[in-house]
Amino acid sequence: MADGKRYLVTGGAGYVGSHAVLALADRGDRVTVLDDLSLGHAAAIPSGVELIRGTLADTGLIERVLSEGSWEGVLHFASLSLVGDSMLRPMHYFMENSSLGFRLIDACIRHGVRRFVLSSTAALFGRPGQQVITEDAPVEPGSPYGESKAMLERALAWADRVHGLRSACLRYFNAAGADPQGRAGEDHTPETHLIPLVIDAALGRRAGLSINGDDYDTPDGTCIRDYVHVSDLATAHLRALEQLGDRSVTYNLGSGHGHSVLEVIRSVERVSGRQVPYSIGPRRAGDPPKLVALSERLRRETGWEPRFERLDDIVATAFAWREAHPDGYGDR
């Protein structure tokens, strides 16, 4: 039953954030999105949802927004998220992700916000010892991006300990797919995610793919990664919110098995009925053969169950959206 409560979603015009906004709005909650639209899209926000165009660096704006009535919670998606870029500009990532995140957390504490959900990352784990990652894996980020999220997780732990701000940190690898009703999808500039790149190759919108190595210790020699449907991720954020009564929580969020690069290509070929041109290139430095996260704790504690577990089902929603939106949201 919808509770009609108010939520602030930072980065709510972005890929994962916009799907979380849809999930909140679909259940009848009142949602305000704060986004500077540098990476997000106004067209991704459904009607009836307030958009405030601005940045977390604008402390006056944050103060004004949080002072306007009571907020049931804040869902924080706004961040830079490219691992390779963070290796080139580490201080920029610490300032944009960590420092601005600290400001938001502090403002939430001062304005009496009691629940905070962080869109975290499995990049916290760098090169983990185990190939299937649980919440107990050591946090040893292999990039400034991962480190910037780890810093936010630590800040939230102290915010709970000192001020009672309950938080949920959700760590996931690869969001994939699109809203099954076609209301939102994936539109990045530049696009770096595998599934939309493979779809674009199938549709002839880009040259063939270059696979980074086919001699890894995996069944077909290509790297295995985790993919979770973006709408299932959104639902997981809502389920995590429900746990924030008397404690904070941390959840890894993954499929538990993952798919190889070649498996993704074959899936796109099955869904689209088109051949995907590709070639085999050299390995990319630092790529582990397999990275997969478990979500057993989330399932056990919240009852979360993904609707889209089959790779073909995930790809089908991504293909439908991308085929219908050849220019994405058309605002670049």
User: Can you tell me whether residue 140 is helix, strand or coil?
Assistant: coil
Reported pTM:
0.95
- pLDDT higher than 90, residue 213: yes
Class of domain 6-176+228-254: alpha beta
In this structure, how many other beta carbons lie within 10 angstroms of the beta carbon of residue 23?
Answer: 20
- Looking at residue 89, what is its pLDDT? 95
Distance between CA atoms of 19 and 172, rounded to whole angstroms? 15
Mean pLDDT (whole number) for 310-329: 96
Q: What percent of the chain has pLDDT over 90?
A: 84
- pLDDT higher than 80, residue 2: no
- pLDDT higher than 70, residue 1: no
Q: Which residue has the tokens 């405030």?
A: 52
Smallest CA-to-CA distance from 102 within 79, 84, 86 is with 79
Distance between CA atoms of 41 and 205, rounded to whole angstroms? 21
What is the number of alpha carbons within 13 Å of residue 306 lying toward its C-beta? Answer: 24
Distance between CA atoms of 54 and 213, rounded to whole angstroms? 41
Q: Catalytic annotation on 251?
A: no
Break the chain into its structural domains and give their ranges: 6-176+228-254, 177-227+255-331
Mean pLDDT (whole number) for 109-122: 96
- Looking at residue 3, what is its pLDDT? 52
- The model's pLDDT over 126-146, given as tens digits with 9 standing for 90+, comes to 776 666 888 988 999 989 999
Check if the beta carbon of residue 51 is closer than 8 Å to that of residue 43. Answer: no
Secondary structure (DSSP) of 230-265: HHHHHHHHHHHHTT-SS--EEEEE--SS-EEHHHHH
Query: Same fold for the domain at 6-176+228-254 and the one at 177-227+255-331?
Result: no
Q: Is the dihedral of CA 103, 29, 31, 325 positive or negative?
A: positive
- The model's pLDDT over 285-298, given as tens digits with 9 standing for 90+, comes to 767 788 898 899 99
The residue type of 169 is C
Q: Which of 15, 145, 216, 251 is catalytic?
A: 145
- CATH 3.40.920.10 given to domain 177-227+255-331: no
Mean pLDDT (whole number) for 84-88: 90
Mean pLDDT (whole number) for 234-257: 95
Distance between CA atoms of 69 and 73, rounded to whole angstroms? 12
